[in-house]
Structure 1
């Protein structure tokens, strides 16, 4: 749909003719158009570009059904100053399908293009954590599950797919990917991350950015601006509580938490970034000039723009329903601090930045400060073509959303996510010819399992539905809920109520009666969307003090094992769970995380051997919350031992079994020594020594043996997923460059120090799964 804007009020008369202003000329470079437009804008128009509307859509832009309301819009924006962004048009009314959202974005866009003085289009942003969080959007595994695939190419294809679906509806910016490094499993937002390792997170983050943005030319309306979040150190909050301080040194900050952001900017070209709610060394990120100006813009050369996290500028003062940092006395001072730090636009509602004009008029801020922050946002509106053709085709949007081709990509992601943690006696895969009756038991057996920030996909299968479909007529499939995890409720619901013990025990008894009739028991347990989620207010919690299974789930497991039948546990959860009893007693365990809309299909394929599981843990599973922190890349003095308990994790980072077996050769160096500015190559042979095709993830870890500051015992520095036929062997090679060996030394210089480096290759971070070779650097 093309529509020529009518906002021709800004024009230059020459020799009796009206000449369009330079910013209207699509032949000119975006930079020149930006400069011309900025020079024509009033202070009020500049401030308007730094403001967003989200839930206020209902007051200012749409009617109760989510349709554009021109009367509301004219009343709310009668001064013609325009608006910077509109948040989540998909959730207007009671939620819009693809065609309706495209129609709405077209209508809103048309209003701002035609009825604001300068005709500046708006940007529409959407949540796209694991698919667009909208009605009809394709939903794939949560990022923690994608981390388990160790497959950046797959991640890029998934976010390319998401960009296409969202852009077709009129969206321009995704508030994704999350490149936080999750180092505390008590934190409820672990599922939004790619895991605990900065290298893995960086590679998956780069892939996500490339998927969203492509080459960032945005010529064909299939891509979106990616937003890196949450900048920075959000993934290791004090006490595991969301938004709590990040108590880390600058060295740890740079090497662990800033690394994925820097990589996604330098190698992915990320255009937008979102500061985090938390503080670092007493400075909340939205007021941290060192972070947003010195590091982000000066050191890294970031040329994009920073969007605030929702209500985070307000929180620089005090937000009663959650918390405050008390850096600011009021919203005016919070506005000043955020502008000075370099936050380009406030999300999600007009709030603190409503004071921009007043603060400039009073001399508290300078108009040039607003120019600096507005310019990059205008530049990307030009580069995206929004001034020239800002509209989309509703019919095309309806065709793309949730289409069959996208289902296939989501299914492949679900297959690669599933991680086999235990398979005693080769219980899996199940033999369909030998199993006559299967009992599907558990609170997660027959409910959609999507996790947080999810939409409503066109199709969504449960474990029970998938097993029934795969079993066909030759196998009887029985079902019993077994127990509940929490009382029924959603991710959005504030109050979380524990299940009733008496009701649970009644359900367990019923499950025993059901399972007694079966040959095999498949037990779907773990967590749900309420037990691990973003804690966004004092009434909406999601962090935990325990990592144990909630409620009577362990009792259910014991009751199933007591029947003396083979038991397979499927774990669905957004964070690692300390499944000690399950790990010790259940013969087969699969970690599923959240698999997305294709859950049932993927689970059935893996259970019956149609697909060989290949996932690897992107985060350590500790024995208990008392073992936290449990991340693998710890310092040499950090895991000395405990009284009366093991110090090792239940399952290590990078670990995951297969239905086949693999053999690794010792690693070989092309050169046994290299200069500090040189390079070499390490190679390892991997062979499928089993009887079926399988995928293995070859992992490279490096340790600096002696250094000027303490270094981790090992760090992931390379990985490659390979698919091998039975008997097939392949050589996997990793380039060893200075970047992989460098660190922030005793003088806080990023450098490579001469000496010995241990290079370790294998299929998990466990010492027993790795072989070493020593590289000398001089």
Structure 2
């Protein structure tokens, strides 16, 4: 406002993958954990809290949601995603967009969906690697969540991906950025670059000869804004304009989109913030309450032989593992603490970050996570002197010096709780996060050896996995009495873990991604084709089952649910109509609990081969012991289409099978209906139906 010729206020952007990446802001569970709640409304509340904090501090654009569909957990950014299913990703993504942008942008924040598109399908699970996606798969799976965010959520901004598709880097892909995004979907917002990615067209992809050509190609393809600062879009773009390589009209178009955002945000009328309000908005108690609710519902009980919950007065508990008493390990890769580590690396000039950023040598950097309790803190508050702690080892350090103490603690206890897993971040000391890809899904360092040593004591072992991806060897999952997947649960995560272990909270998270037995199965996902190798002549691999360790949608609790009845309301519907699916669920256990009812369809008569199952609806339900709950799903036929031989979206006449259950493997056949063709009634794509839940 005071340092530029025209005095136009700036748009300040922030990373908001698990909350605002700023000191004292609320640190929410990482996105893969949020997806495990199967509760889009909670994600909307998360984004609404982020919106309030950002507006209070004067920031107006959030670089989220991550709408990458990921089916290869070797990829380090798996933790930032909502999992493997395009429908679940779209529901979470649309909710986040609506919560962040609000009802009116004068009090909202620009949501920036990323990474457009197919970034999570990288070759070898490697960051920035090419994605090999045929056109139909690209549209039906990877573009789907972005299209829903644009058409249904009113998305205002899109970030292009670092990678390439079929030989064309995404920042140079006019077919995607202009023809599909704007031409086909009607997107009117801004396209921004990923950090340094315009120049990467030259320096990384060697697609452009120099920075000037990179600017020409990027702007010409549809990238309106270069982040994090003007680099190729500075002097190099000026030279391109002077040479006639870029038109002033295209530049005006890009500038006008940014100016429109500033008008919509109300920045011209209100360019400044109320500084006194910042303290009350950052990490407010109401925001921590949302974080805690998400953390509680994000925990997925993968296995339980009856050792959980740990009952009060049941004896001593040995708490072991590198993630048991380290608050930093509860946080995702774009939390403030992880960002500080990246700054330290940049200041020390190590690796790529050192080339990207210049940090003053005298800058005081605080890496602490003060105020974030650890699992040890929360269990000690509940168990007192019945808790014995021994870390055993570090996440990555190869030393086994602590094994003896850990084994002794386990041998003397009634149960051993091992808190294991990852350390998320962007630096070499991290094992998950951006550019922290792995070739193995076993626990890093010597943690697997620690598990074997503790199991050998004969004491029942509960493994708590604090990780950014599915992890753990066959031995861990086979020999531990219980396995709890905690993901990266944020600043309230330790409390949620302790509550679930002790039975104060009934676990209700469900997997948003299939859990492989090992990297040799990858890709493993539920929505494969009939010919996907799962039912061929011999079926399994020579040395392993083809089925995942835990299927998509799986999760246990401390009570039991059954589907008493599931019916399809009509046997014949016209294209363009909806069909009703009635479901009755009963809690047959002895305590209250929650369940996620999942509705899948299969199209056995399509003119294009279809997946064996496709998620089309879900609902989270609560029920007291012995209580029954009724649900009605309205399934629009416009949601059941696909891209035909001419690559046009089509809802074909024919049979549709409906399945309802609690996972992609645990389901019942609800019925079949037939879609009747109606040539006078064109069917548009529909992204979701409705779900009504009532107690009986």
Aligned partner of 2:85 among 180, 183, 197: 197
TM-score (norm 1): 0.80
Aligned partner of 1:567 among 426, 442, 461: 461
1:336 aligned partner: 216
More displaced stretch, 513-522 vs 175-184: 513-522
Contact 2:443/2:473 (CA < 8 Å) preserved in 1? yes
1:181 and 2:69 are equivalent in the alignment? yes
Aligned partner of 2:144 among 244, 248, 259: 259
Aligned partner of 1:773 among 643, 668, 671: 671
Aligned partner of 1:165 among 42, 49, 53: 53
Matches within 5 A, 1:658-737: 658-737=557-636
2:289 aligned partner: 408
Contact 1:745/1:751 (CA < 8 Å) preserved in 2? yes
Q: CA deviation at 1:667?
A: 2.1
2:381 aligned partner: 469
Aligned partner of 1:145 among 13, 29, 33: 33
Residues 396-448 of structure 1: CA distance to partner in whole angstroms, max 9, x if unpaired?
10121112221111111110000011111x2111111223x211101111111
2:474 aligned partner: 580
Contact 1:402/1:458 (CA < 8 Å) preserved in 2? no
Q: CA deviation at 1:356?
A: 2.2
Q: CA deviation at 1:692?
A: 0.8
Aligned residues: 632
1:534 and 2:446 are equivalent in the alignment? no
Residues 25-83 of structure 1: CA distance to partner in whole angstroms, max 9, x if unpaired?
xxxxxxxxxxxxxxxxxxxxxxxxxxxxxxxxxxxxxxxxxxxxxxxxxxxxxxxxxxx
Question: Helix, strand or coil: the match of 1:256?
Answer: helix
Aligned partner of 2:14 among 126, 133, 146: 126
Root-mean-square deviation (Å): 1.3
Aligned partner of 2:442 among 519, 534, 548: 548
Q: 4+ residue runs of structure 1 moved beyond 6 angstroms?
A: none
Aligned partner of 1:518 among 403, 413, 426: 413
Aligned partner of 1:382 among 263, 266, 274: 263
1:608 aligned partner: 502
Contact 2:212/2:239 (CA < 8 Å) preserved in 1? no
- Counterpart Cα distance in 2 of 1:642 and 1:773: 33
1:483 aligned partner: 393
Contact 1:138/1:401 (CA < 8 Å) preserved in 2? yes
Residues 441-476 of structure 1: CA distance to partner in whole angstroms, max 9, x if unpaired?
01111111102000257631111111111224xx52
- Counterpart Cα distance in 2 of 1:198 and 1:676: 23
Question: Helix, strand or coil: the match of 2:23?
Answer: coil
- Counterpart Cα distance in 1 of 2:474 and 2:672: 36
- Counterpart Cα distance in 2 of 1:761 and 1:285: 38
2:122 aligned partner: 237
Contact 1:666/1:771 (CA < 8 Å) preserved in 2? no
1:282 and 2:167 are equivalent in the alignment? yes
Q: CA deviation at 1:671?
A: 0.6
Aligned partner of 1:459 among 359, 367, 371: 371
1:651 and 2:550 are equivalent in the alignment? yes
Residues 378-409 of structure 1: CA distance to partner in whole angstroms, max 9, x if unpaired?
01101111111111112210121112221111
2:523 aligned partner: 629
Q: Gaps (5+ residues) in structure 1?
A: 1-112, 319-323, 487-498, 536-541
- Counterpart Cα distance in 2 of 1:611 and 1:374: 51
Q: CA deviation at 1:708?
A: 1.2
More displaced stretch, 149-158 vs 576-585: 576-585
Matches within 5 A, 1:401-440: 401-424=282-305, 426-435=306-315, 437-440=316-319
Question: Helix, strand or coil: the match of 1:563?
Answer: coil
TM-score (norm 2): 0.89
More displaced stretch, 551-560 vs 123-132: 551-560
- Counterpart Cα distance in 2 of 1:508 and 1:774: 57
1:248 aligned partner: 133
Q: CA deviation at 1:770?
A: 3.5
Residues 346-402 of structure 1: CA distance to partner in whole angstroms, max 9, x if unpaired?
111221111222222221111111111111110110111111111111221012111
Contact 1:159/1:211 (CA < 8 Å) preserved in 2? yes
Contact 1:763/1:770 (CA < 8 Å) preserved in 2? no
Contact 2:442/2:448 (CA < 8 Å) preserved in 1? no
- Counterpart Cα distance in 2 of 1:246 and 1:451: 25
- Counterpart Cα distance in 2 of 1:567 and 1:275: 45
Aligned partner of 1:299 among 172, 178, 184: 184
Question: Helix, strand or coil: the match of 1:702?
Answer: strand
